[in-house]
Structure 1
Amino acid sequence: MVRILRGLAHKYFSDEEAVILFLLLVTGTVFVILFGAMLAPAIASLIIAFILQGLVAKLHKMGVPELVAIISVFVVFLGVLVGFIFGLLPLIWTQVSNLAGEAPRIIRELQSYLELLPEEYPHLISMEAVDTIYRQVSAEVAHMTQVLVSFSLSSIPDLVALLIYMVLVPILVFFFMKDRRVLIASIGRMLPPQRPMMIRIWQEVNLQCANYVRGKAVEILIVGVVTYAAFKLLGMPYAALLSLLVGLSVVIPYIGAAVVTIPVAVIALFAFGWSSHFIWVMVVYGIIQALDGNVLVPILFSEVNNLHPVAIIVAVLFFGGIWGLWGVFFAIPLATMLKAVFAAWPVKESEPSPAVSE
């Protein structure tokens, strides 16, 4: 065992820079696990600034002074944030409340649909299975309704914290953008002066994660807006809420689209029944998903190294289990970072064993 460990250390940790990088990764992971919730506004601000930096760089290449570009992009960001808070967010909350109010009617109609299944497919499903499904769905809907109804004066501390974040995040975003070079130089002074491997990993991670995060933000916006327009034209209820879910579902490839299809189909079924209108809604929704996967994604992520679907699913499960929703959202960038680290990690070939003379 000692010989095996010595061989692994010689192969993967013979470089001093590799040891320092390994310690930094372990320390950073433990720090985020322990203090991630506390530093969530700072982490979110850093990510937003990272996304906006691409627009700043493009404006600067067009001849706009850097400070003017930063202020212009920041003003646009504030406008989008204010529009979301005072425009889209109240609409979504209203639709969530209305959906909670219609939950009893939805449960009754669901029961009527489920009761028909044993009659039409007696060999596939029994009445006992229908009763079990109905009880589980009823319990989940009742729990969700209770959560919405319990939103009262007791939530004032959470609202105060949310208001503080709404003020704090834009301030942090501005300073992360304005003092980007100063912050990076400060971190660089704490690292070894000779760090070719770290520089190579940083360049790869910066390129891949920047392309992915910014492309994913554009994809969420396009898919959400197109879905909202299509659902409004088709008369789909809760169009804003569903389009937000569909837009956010692109963050998790394969899994997100499959999960969001269920509420879209259920609400369309209860709104239109088994009719041609229901079929049209599902066909249009399927076309949007197909165009997103086969046209929009190749255009936006042409410069991003593709991960294997198994790697994506494992990353979502692993980082989601560690950091919850944040881990799910950033599972693919984190997996991309790990891929870049493994690709650039120095591996020292083991020395060949001497030949045995006869």
Structure 2
Amino acid sequence: VYSLFLVFMAFILFGLMPLLSKQVSQFFQEVPEMMRNIQGLLLRLPEQYPDLVSEEYVWELNSNLRDSFSALGQNVLSFSLASMPAVVTILVYLILVPLMIFFFLKDKVVVIDWMASFLPKERHLVNEVWIEMDAQIGNYVRGKFNEILIVGSASYIVFVILGLNYAFLLAMVVGLSVLIPYIGAAIVTLPVALVGYFQWGLNADYNFTWLMISYFVIQFLDGNVLVPILFSEAVNLHPIAIIVAILVFGGLWGFWGVFFAIPLATLVKALINVWPIHEEDTKKIKKK
């Protein structure tokens, strides 16, 4: 298991990272051309829809886009010059974090026993919460990993077949979007649609149409087929509970609250399930 883990990490670092870095670099090189295409598209709107869009509004919007793009370029340049220490730190983390995970997996029992030694001796309720959380979060993490792998691989195959630019980069983003329920898929739709539109436009071959149909089919199958199969024994949270968790924890902690909404909701659910409502429940927990 440990050897497979090391091989997997080496494949990511030396196999996938160079490809990802190359496509990210190519993407940012073509961003100015994409911006010019967007501006040209906006300038044609008054001719196509004179009753809805005025030329003054389009010129103002174009000016705002130029200013925003110029500010973005300056921010990227200043960030690249001032972030060399951060880059070195990230490289160190890329080496140390896999090693830390390796030793956590290798000495799991020793680490858990050491951490448990700091807890109070009377921890029946904590044990109940831990048992339920361990089972549900374990299923959730395994299910999410498989979902990312399947959705990302399916997207990559479709993008390569259609000949979409930045296929690996976009497929990776689509795969990672499943980490944020509902919101992730909606956000990732925009870059996929923009890259496809600027590459093909609305041509007679219907490449853009096939791209969007394929993308929405993947999202539909993910939400209605893959998720029920992978998470049938996992967290078992109602969609309303997931949405409420995203709103509440996102409002409290922003992006990270949204990112960890389901694990936090699972913790709340585990606490509710094991909390002793009556005295008899307390006695049952202590007997365990």
Task: Work out which of the residue numbers 200, 211, 229 in structure 2 matches 1:281.
Answer: 211
Q: Equivalent residue for 2:4?
A: 76
**Aligned equivalent of 1:176, options 104, 117, 130:** 104
> How far apart are 1:204 and its partner, in Å?
1.1
C-alpha separation in 1, matches of 2:72 and 2:162: 27
Determine if contact 2:180/2:258 at 8 Å carries over to the other structure.
yes
Q: Per the alignment, in what secondary structure is the counterpart of residue 280 of structure 1?
A: helix
CA contact (8 A) 1:211 1:303 kept: yes
TM-score, structure 1 normalization: 0.70
- Pair 1:101-2:34 in alignment: no
Q: Give SS of 2:232's match.
A: coil
- Displacement of 1:215 after TM fit? 0.7
1:336 pairs with 2:275: no
Residues 1-358 of structure 1 aligned to structure 2 (within 5 Å):
73-150=1-78, 154-275=82-203, 276-316=206-246, 319=249, 326-347=256-277
Distance 1:316 1:140, change over 3 A: farther
CA distance in 1, matches of 2:172, 2:67: 25
Contact 1:100 1:145 in 2 (8 A): no
Structure 2 counterpart of 1:278, one-letter code: F
Compute the TM-score of the two structures, normalised by the length of structure 2.
Answer: 0.85
1:192, distance to aligned residue in structure 2 (A): 3.1
Q: Is the 8 A contact 2:151 2:222 kept in 1?
A: yes
The two structures, once aligned, show a CA RMSD in angstroms of 2.5
Classify 1:181/1:89 alpha carbon distance in 2 versus 1 (closer, same or farther; 3 Å): same
Query: Aligned equivalents of 2:252 and 2:14: distance in 1?
Result: 33
Partner of 1:85, secondary structure, is helix
State the distance in 2 between where 1:97 and 1:145 align: 14
Cα displacement (A) at 1:75: 1.8
Is the Cα–Cα contact under 8 Å of residues 219 and 250 in structure 1 kept in the other structure? yes
Q: How many residues align?
A: 277
Instruction: Give ranges in structure 1 of 5+ residues lacking alignment.
Output: 1-72, 350-358
Per-residue deviation, 1:145: 4.1
Check the 8 A contact 2:137/2:235 in 1, yes or no. no
Letter in 2 for 1:195: R
Equivalent position amino acid for 1:94 in 2: K
Question: Are residues 197 and 136 of structure 1, via their aligned partners in 2, closer, same or farther at CA, if it must alter by over 3 Å?
Answer: farther
Deviations 1:188-227 (A, max 9, x none): 2333333332222111111111111111011111111111
The structure-2 alpha-carbon separation of the partners of 1:191 and 1:151, relative to structure 1 and needing over 3 Å to count, comes to closer
1:206 maps to a residue whose letter is: D
- CA shift at 1:101, angstroms? 1.4
Query: Is the Cα–Cα contact under 8 Å of residues 213 and 333 in structure 1 kept in the other structure?
Result: no
Higher relative contact order (CA 8 A, sep 6+): 1
3-state DSSP of counterpart to 1:224: helix
